[in-house]
Amino acid sequence: MEFIKTPHINVLDDIGFGKTLLMPGDPLRSKFIAENFLENPVAVNSVRGVNGFTGYYKGTKVSVMASGMGMPSIGIYSYELYKNFGVQNIIRIGSAGSISPDCKIGDIVAGMGSCTNSSFGNQYGLDGTVAPVCNFDLLSAAKQIADEKKYSFKTGLLFSSDTFYDDTRSSLDWAKMGCLAVEMESAALYLTAQRLGMRALTICTVSDLCYPPFDALSAEERQNSFTEMMELALETAVMTDGLPHLEPKE
């Protein structure tokens, strides 16, 4: 396909992106995944320091590129990747804070849906509230792989917050609606994918407890736990590579 370059992504034409793209928030985590998991990785984007790489994992062409922090940022990158660069599946991989006793430090949480306090969905002009949900095929594959590998894996609702420092600590209130953990990107990713008719999934590792005793992973524990999440996302990319081709909706 012919890529339509944007102010945020200026990919190498002869390499491009894979059908599935992993999307951590941190550009350095993109680099880590490329260097430690992908065969023959090539840097394909560095605009604004947002590292993007394309390589192969078990013979499947896969890309990884950072989203930055928050819904406006992932909303821009995911829209352009789906619309202009041939990406069909985006798997967000990040950290999350538990707001439910059912979700422990080190658990991997896949967001079936994403509640949010953001007004991101207002742009669609709907007379009601749109429900941001993941793609079932991606979720089903991730669940199967996690069960086979015996990961501590939970599926449920995420709370996607527009604020990190929140005076009201209102994130905890979302637990009563079944939300397991709080993060800051999944709602915008899901809504963008739904609008364009593409596929998305968010997988997070619980790095912190947002309620007493306010525990958190150490730096070494984060590295080990996040590696499991990265491998899960890559294996999901391989398993779902044969899904039907999609074209973004107008």
Q: What is the 3-state secondary structure (H, E, C) of 20-74?
A: EEEECCCHHHHHHHHHHHCEEEEEEECHHHCCEEEEEECCEEEEEECCCCCHHHH
Q: Which residues of 114-130 are buried (b: 16+ CB within 10 A; e: fewer)?
A: bbbebebbeeeeeeeee
Whether 208 is catalytic is yes
Q: Please count the other Cβ atoms lying within 10 Å of the Cβ belonging to residue 155.
A: 17
| Annotated active-site residue in 26, 137, 162, 208 | 208
- Least Cα distance to 96 among 49, 10, 159 occurs for 159
**Torsion angle, CA of 156/248/239/204, rounded to 10 degrees?**
-30
Q: Which residues are catalytic?
A: 208
